[in-house]
Structure 1
């Protein structure tokens, strides 16, 4: 059951997109991103707005093709969501379709495990946010009310496994930090079955000032959480451009492809009262005494007018000229 908002409720915030991308020190751009729902109000009413980002795996073949195929397939599949289908189900269905597409690409070219990409997707809607993630591209959430930036997604790399060993007491933290394979992915798009999938739901919808940030490891691997927190508070597109500008200014010699997508909630303009009409003065209200007085004045004016017309309408008397002495 849908509960209609009260007439005094504040209008829902407007979600605006932002994006930024830089090839970095690589020879090819292997990241991809996309949005859906901004130009379709009917879909947005039940499917929200979608942002998706993928980072093709540079150590494997066809990383660029894999990331672009994953983003396109997920976006197009999610766009088929019916109003009665839940957002988490639609996201999972779209994720599986993206994995199947990249897996088929791998089987047609270099074989299973030789073509792959990370993928993170998030949907902002009237009841909260939902996301799916495979790999080490990340989703961050910024809450303006608390001025707090939080990593929402979970990385799927060997470092996570190493940390579980540290927590269990079977590995020293220094050894985990120095492990040569800590960045290796343990789950990615392009396998027959996805080993690990991170899904999440937050029932609190975005409020004005809130942000969702999706980014590849070329962004979060170089910019600290403090940097991201400082820059994300801007409107969507200026924030995205500021992050890319910061990376370019740092000029790291081994800078990876850097890509980010932002969903930002901004306050909607409140509707003006009496929209479409102008205040007009009310016509005068006459009592019977006003009418009687007006009638008397009209009669008086009429009498004066008649009198004046009679007075000035007479022919003037002419005195007779004196008789002349001449004949």
Structure 2
């Protein structure tokens, strides 16, 4: 792996309302691996669940060299799921210790998105901003069934009800989306504390800014100014391999062909 193939930057904040940050993230560019995890609010030990996800993925980074495989991510999440279910069984009542997860993985040529829950991965390519993940949520199912519009879903009373998460059931299944990675691609991984207060049009416009640290700070401050009620976590990744120095600094944008994204495995 060329050490200059990509750059990344991560940031998290407790938000304006909550006292505990139940979000966690992994920023491991040396392994081509990034993730965000959002501990399930209203349940026991959400911060423990999201931290365990990051710990298990980080252990994978320490045990193996680049490139990692999607199957290895799935195996680690299965182990986390089993541990969280076992921990919950020790608590009184019908307790759940769970977390969403969204993982971005690079190998030699491809990018892979793996996720469970409503944490998201977006991509900016040639000025086109795309949500790559599909929320595992009650309102998203209603949108897919034609019962709600996306705008209605955002303010629906069930907007926070997710249908899949690590630790929520005895077995866990991650959705997988794989596609060719192209020079100039920019990715945003985020928990719903960001996308619930900022729409796609605004997010896509802000991602046109050239440098990641300043962009991450602007995104965070914009969410906080909107009185974000949830924790906010974001991870930014720029693919710089094959770009000139001018392109890497954002001073020149080449015209790149759009890829044919491989279908979702659901």
Shorter-chain TM range is: 0.7 to 0.9
What CA deviation, in whole Å up to 9, does each residue of 1:13-64 have, x standing for no partner?
A: 53111111111121111100012252xxxxx4xxxx1001100111111111
Larger helix share, 1 or 2? 1
2:188 pairs, out of 190, 208, 213, with: 213
Q: Which residue of 1 aligns with 2:41?
A: 58
Q: Which residue of 1 aligns with 2:129?
A: 149
Q: Which residue of 1 aligns with 2:50?
A: 67
1:28 pairs, out of 13, 17, 20, with: 20
Aligned pair in 2 of structure 1 residues 66, 112: CA closer, same or farther (>3 Å)? Answer: farther
Aligned pair in 2 of structure 1 residues 214, 111: CA closer, same or farther (>3 Å)? Answer: farther
Deviation at 1:211, TM superposition (A): 1.1
Could you tell me how far apart the structure 1 residues matched to 2:211 and 2:161 are? Answer: 34
Aligned pairs (5 A) from 1:293-304: none
Paired residues of 1:211 and 1:262 also in contact (CA < 8 A): yes
What is the DSSP-based 3-state SS (H/G/I as helix, E as strand, rest coil) of the residue aligned with 2:145? helix
Unaligned stretches of 5+ residues in structure 1: 1-10, 39-43, 272-327
Deviation at 1:229, TM superposition (A): 1.1
Aligned pairs (5 A) from 1:1-327: 14-24=5-15, 25-38=17-30, 44=31, 49-77=32-60, 79-81=62-64, 87-110=69-92, 114-143=96-125, 146-166=126-146, 171=147, 177=153, 180-194=157-171, 196-202=173-179, 204-207=180-183, 209-233=184-208, 234-250=210-226, 252=227, 255-266=229-240
Count residues with an aligned counterpart.
240
Could you tell me how far apart the structure 2 residues matched to 1:172 and 1:217 are? Answer: 19
Could you tell me how far apart the structure 2 residues matched to 1:86 and 1:244 are? Answer: 30
Could you tell me how far apart the structure 1 residues matched to 2:78 and 2:143 are? Answer: 28
Paired residues of 2:136 and 2:164 also in contact (CA < 8 A): yes
Aligned pair in 2 of structure 1 residues 142, 99: CA closer, same or farther (>3 Å)? Answer: same
Paired residues of 1:74 and 1:98 also in contact (CA < 8 A): no
Unaligned stretches of 5+ residues in structure 2: 246-266
TM-score normalised by structure 2 residue count: 0.79
Could you tell me how far apart the structure 2 residues matched to 1:248 and 1:120 are? Answer: 22
Q: Which residue of 2 aligns with 1:289?
A: none
Deviation at 1:195, TM superposition (A): 5.5
The two structures, once aligned, show a CA RMSD in angstroms of 2.8
Deviation at 1:113, TM superposition (A): 5.1
Q: Which residue of 1 aligns with 2:253?
A: none
Paired residues of 2:10 and 2:234 also in contact (CA < 8 A): yes
Deviation at 1:80, TM superposition (A): 3.3
